[in-house]
Amino acid sequence: MLGPDFKFVTAHFTDDERLTVQSYWSNEVTGEYVEDVIEVKEDDPSYKNLLNYTTIDDLHENNYRNIKASDEAIKEQVIDIAKDR
C-alpha cells in the first residue's frame, strides 16, 4: 500500500472480467506518479483502500471512458497511416 503522501488520481478496470483495477496515484511533494494493479477481491487490503477513494460505479464509468479514448486513439492512428499512404 502507498504511503500517506500519495493522493488518488483515478482508476479503471484492466480486463473484461473486471477482476483487476489499474489505479493511479500522485505524490504532490516529490512529483512522483505511481500506477498500481489491484485484484478485485473483497478481502484484499489494497482493494478495500481503493474503495475509500472511489466507487464501483466510478470504476465502471472510468472504464467506459478509457475504452472510448483508446478506440478514438486507434481510429486516429489508422487515419494518419491511411493519409501517409
12 φ, ψ to 5°?
-155, 160
pLDDT tens readout for residues 34-71: 999 999 999 999 999 999 999 999 999 999 998 998 88
Residue 28's domain spans which residues? 6-84
Within-domain flag for 1: no
Q: Does residue 76 form part of some domain? A: yes
Span 8-29, mean pLDDT? 94
b or e along 51-67 (b: 16 or more beta carbons within 10 Å of the residue's beta carbon)? eeebeeeebeebbeebe
Q: What distance in Å separates the CA atoms of residue 19 and residue 15, rounded to the nearest whole number?
A: 7
Domain count, the chain: 1
Confidence band for 1, pLDDT divided at 50, 70 and 90: low
Number of Cβ within 10 Å of residue 13's Cβ equals 19
Per the DSSP assignment, residues forming a β-bridge with 25 are: 8, 34
**How far is the CA of 58 from the CAs of 18, 31, 54, 61, 66, in angstroms?**
13, 25, 6, 5, 12
The reply to whether 30 falls in a domain is yes
